[in-house]
Structure 1
């Protein structure tokens, strides 16, 4: 449904729209609480690798959860639409729940499984509740289904497309069993599947209590259209307030996802013309053999656009009425069916960062310097004595860029992560054979400037049993950039010291490196870029950084 359309003669007033918006949000808020209290995997309940959304009957986003991953911004619609088409909309009844992780439509790695349920009112579907969660393992070449060695999507594990998990409120046992048969981490998948299922059924019941009890089906359609029109008008006004112009920026990923390959050059262009913003992603490299491909160009542009234009407004489809995203077939961002996607998010943070950089090239007072910009993923795994597998997956937070108003913050995840937390030391050490020796800021890692970047972080972890590690660190060739005369931040890395060795070996992109008990893994994230000339920094602020041990005397005083 168009954000500007109105399907009935009922005309909601401003109060009606606000009540409707908050009612939708309240349903999602409760689902979020429920998921974080019932999920099995720390990646869901602690790290919050999920998203919850309400979609209208035409699969346009009405509302999205506030505390989940921004990288999943308004991209549930195509997955839900495809799954409903496969299952047959005419076959759906109240209490049905389906799942899908079909990569050709979703464009992510297959771990991101969407569970969805239709919401009926007066015998008609008025909405869908959809929850995407990262399933710990779906088979494939390695535990976790995220191997750097994968060269097509089928090497990464099992895909489900519109598979019915619940029929009329009753589990479909053979389909649940099939899901559990295709994972090494059965307890993780079962627990998180049931948490998603509980979230879907909760969403349906809360809709009945808070929405259907207050508004008719026709009024809900009108309210949804009015809300989206309101969001569209706000977005267009915000874009119109920005300086018109055409801007561009370029950076490089370290390689094409495989050892010995050349760095990949990313160029983005932005055009702002009145109340319209065009993000041109046609100058992005062709898809590659290694698993860094995706099919989600709009979500990256939407994260950057929302950060720049409407960071303070709840998300719905109308919010993106002022944005046009241009792509071309066959790029890393629009990969063809079957492309490997295990590390689909490897360049995503860089792309979001680069779009903001392009805008900032012409408007430095309106955009920050570069963030640490790397996914920073690390996955420990191993086998228990009974033959079952365990897995601990996290990403390391780093520095964000300085800006016109002050220093960059740290530690934070990437812009695609938002304020997602790292797994707590207590959870990791209580659950896995790992000891976290220290987590500390990296001195001299922040880019210098009138306002310095945020600090990079060093995390040192020791294995107490034999284990494996897989890693994903990028953007070391072109580290986090400065803005308005600021300097770059220090890049990140992953180094391993094996038992009996005094040397550290670099493993920035690695799959299943064997770690004998007593191995030490040193993870270092990048610092953010600085904003403004370093010689304009407040002497008291520099002295405080030196006093705190975050800047060495020689680095702080250099010309």
Structure 2
């Protein structure tokens, strides 16, 4: 039977697994996916907070006793820290473990609002040893408030993790089916939303225990030896598929790319570098055919909360976080959707981290609540370095998580907190436009307007697409959201967002998308722009908060986009007439319901725009914000950026 070193979860095989019925392997793989979905459905139906119940910012995962992630529809945290502190032999049926401590999570927890519960699965093989741990069911999600300096537990100006909320290392939250009331009292007492937190934790623990029972039924039906052989076969299939269909498309060689966070909430905006040196090793490499991700060249850790602890457990979490980007190299979109990312990708990726003290290797107690600025940027950095390796056959950039919200007291005088994760546009691809308003967390979504208006003291006056936000290109970037919220009572607005200066880059001649923007009282007497990192911007009753999220970058030369596709975008309200002229060189006439391209005028305009170009178009277009920040860099930083 094949396996992993249980202390590290590394990809080193110990023995070849015996042959198993391929039909049974498919049954087990489908069973795992079914249990994962059942756990997530149970959480969604029984939780209480809008972030979990309505926005669905959570996910489940199933792991084997060797700590390998078996399911691949979504990412999840790690079991490593639980097993580190509670050896398998000390676990009992009905136990549920809890943790959210960033620095004691082995890299699986990014910031304190991400709470993780883990239930071990037990099976009695009938060999006299009694029930033994054979797997784990885990739930991991973002919660409204876990304490700290500001509502929502994400202070934008934090300089220490101690300002960000309650840190809990792995603890036994349920002991043989009995909740630890003392621990629950401590956690809920530290939250501004104690009832929601208690209900969410109860939903997650109960769902994981249900999932553990379902998994125990699988082992009871087929036996431990057979089921674990199927687990090995599932992971081996992933390894073989990614080696055959993905690695084979990346030329052997070394490629470098970097991108930047623009601010950390403490210092003035500047370029915070995240760099990947990608090496694709040959098949005859002494250490095997693989991808090496080297993060040397990443900037020092920030004073503010944009740091991410990525180097623990040899980057085990980060490997599975970044690997979905590789699926874009699949032959078809349909095939891409079929490629799950489970522990089978781990043997194909090696990670090399810089010493402690960088954005990706911060030292305790550096703050981390806005770590999305780093961990999401790394997805784009990997996409960019792959684009260099495969001559642009990768999507342009996208940025899909930013937290916005309002808080105060409602019309009855009760305190409330509304937080929302709004998506953005995805990048244009070499074969199609980007998708509009996507969310990086599978099945997550915006808050329904009807629910929000019924629960909070505001009216959603508009929720639609942000016109012209997608980067221009032969294939246009997807559009972001535009949302207008009119407050019915004085409140405070909060935002944890990036890409308000830097834009999502375009590739292969495509243009960058529009950046994130928040305007309060647009068109009114007190119109003002709000910084993307804001904890408590006052908003008066009657004022509108206008939120525009990022558009994805474009792919290919926008002057090559066919006229009929530009007209379709104008008709659908995705591109304005000014945008059609300025970005695509298309002069649009006719009515709003029947736009027409003036082809002679458009042909002449496109020739004029081509003639105004000073030379070859850059492979990447970062947008005007990059030039602004690069111009303000010190000479040492400029040398470094080269």
Matched with 1:540 is 564
Compared CA separation, residues 388 and 280, structure 1 to 2 (3 A): farther
1:346 aligns with 2:373: yes
**SS class of match (1:347):** helix
Once the two structures are overlaid, the 10-residue window that deviates more, 170-179 or 256-265, is: 256-265
Compared CA separation, residues 377 and 49, structure 1 to 2 (3 A): same
Q: Deviations over 1:412-463 (max 9, x none)?
A: 13xx435521111112111211211112323322222111111232111111
Contact 2:522 2:546 in 1 (8 A): no
Matched with 1:118 is 120
Once the two structures are overlaid, the 10-residue window that deviates more, 221-230 or 279-288, is: 221-230
Once the two structures are overlaid, the 10-residue window that deviates more, 181-190 or 263-272, is: 263-272
Once the two structures are overlaid, the 10-residue window that deviates more, 18-27 or 7-16, is: 7-16
Distance 1:319 1:476 in 2: 34
Unaligned runs of 5+ in 1: none
Q: TM-score, normalised by structure 2?
A: 0.80
Matched with 1:208 is 216
Contact 2:308 2:374 in 1 (8 A): no
Compared CA separation, residues 4 and 339, structure 1 to 2 (3 A): closer
Contact 1:7 1:222 in 2 (8 A): no
Contact 1:236 1:321 in 2 (8 A): no
Matches within 5 A, 1:85-100: 85-100=84-99
Q: TM-score, normalised by structure 1?
A: 0.91
Q: Deviations over 1:10-61 (max 9, x none)?
A: 5313222222111111111111111111110121122221121111112121
Residue 225 (structure 2) aligned to one of 204, 213, 218: 218
* Aligned residues: CA RMSD: 2.4
Compared CA separation, residues 124 and 421, structure 1 to 2 (3 A): same
How far does residue 149 in structure 1 lie from its aligned partner after superposition? 2.5
Distance 2:564 2:25 in 1: 49
Compared CA separation, residues 95 and 26, structure 1 to 2 (3 A): same
Compared CA separation, residues 61 and 302, structure 1 to 2 (3 A): closer
Matches within 5 A, 1:309-348: 309=327, 311-328=337-354, 329-348=356-375
Residue 249 (structure 1) aligned to one of 249, 254, 257: 257
Compared CA separation, residues 291 and 533, structure 1 to 2 (3 A): same
Compared CA separation, residues 495 and 485, structure 1 to 2 (3 A): same
How far does residue 9 in structure 1 lie from its aligned partner after superposition? 7.5
Distance 1:319 1:26 in 2: 21
Contact 1:10 1:219 in 2 (8 A): no
Matches within 5 A, 1:220-239: 220-239=227-246
Residue 182 (structure 1) aligned to one of 180, 190, 200: 190
Residue 50 (structure 1) aligned to one of 58, 71, 90: 58
**SS class of match (2:566):** helix
Contact 1:153 1:339 in 2 (8 A): yes
Contact 2:401 2:424 in 1 (8 A): no
Distance 2:12 2:82 in 1: 27
Matched with 1:432 is 456
Once the two structures are overlaid, the 10-residue window that deviates more, 465-474 or 293-302, is: 293-302
Distance 2:302 2:414 in 1: 34
Contact 1:498 1:516 in 2 (8 A): no
Larger Rg: 2
Contact 2:254 2:278 in 1 (8 A): yes
Distance 1:385 1:452 in 2: 43
Matched with 1:376 is 402
1:410 aligns with 2:417: no
**SS class of match (1:511):** strand
Once the two structures are overlaid, the 10-residue window that deviates more, 493-502 or 26-35, is: 493-502
Compared CA separation, residues 84 and 227, structure 1 to 2 (3 A): same
Distance 1:393 1:186 in 2: 15
Q: Deviations over 1:256-289 (max 9, x none)?
A: 3325242213322222234411222222111111
Distance 1:517 1:292 in 2: 32
Distance 2:13 2:343 in 1: 13
1:286 aligns with 2:300: yes
Unaligned runs of 5+ in 2: 5-10, 125-130, 283-288, 328-335, 583-608, 610-642
Matched with 2:136 is 128
